[in-house]
Amino acid sequence: MDAETALRIGLVEELSPPDQIHRRAEGLISKILKNSSPAIRQTKRVIADCARDPNLFLVNDPAFPLADSTQAKDFREAARAFLEKRERK
């Protein structure tokens, strides 16, 4: 399958020219790292579970582990920052 087809059918969200891939990846990484550590950790765990089980037979509720992260101190700060329309501390 070529990249344009993958984009058209929704397998990927965007395409980047080869000479801009690293810059785009760094931008995405920077955006991800603005999230709380527990949320990133839980998201990685869910992704790993889904990768091991593509049919999702073993993943009861992919959102469940993320619910735990709402109790973290940095989640509360992120929520406050969002509501106050400011960057997280």
Fold of the CATH domain 36-89 = Lyase 2-enoyl-coa Hydratase; Chain  A, domain 2 (1.10.12)
3-state secondary structure of 50: helix
Where in the chain is CATH 1.10.12?
36-89
Whole-structure pTM value: 0.53
Residue 12 predicted with pLDDT over 80: yes
Average of pLDDT values for 20-30? 94
Q: Is the Cβ–Cβ distance between 75 and 69 less than 8 Å?
A: yes
Average of pLDDT values for 13-25? 94
Q: What is the pLDDT of residues 59-74, one digit of tens each?
A: 666 566 666 666 667 7
Q: Give the H/E segment covering residue 86.
A: none
Q: What is the pLDDT of residue 56?
A: 66
CB atoms within 10 A of CB 19: 7
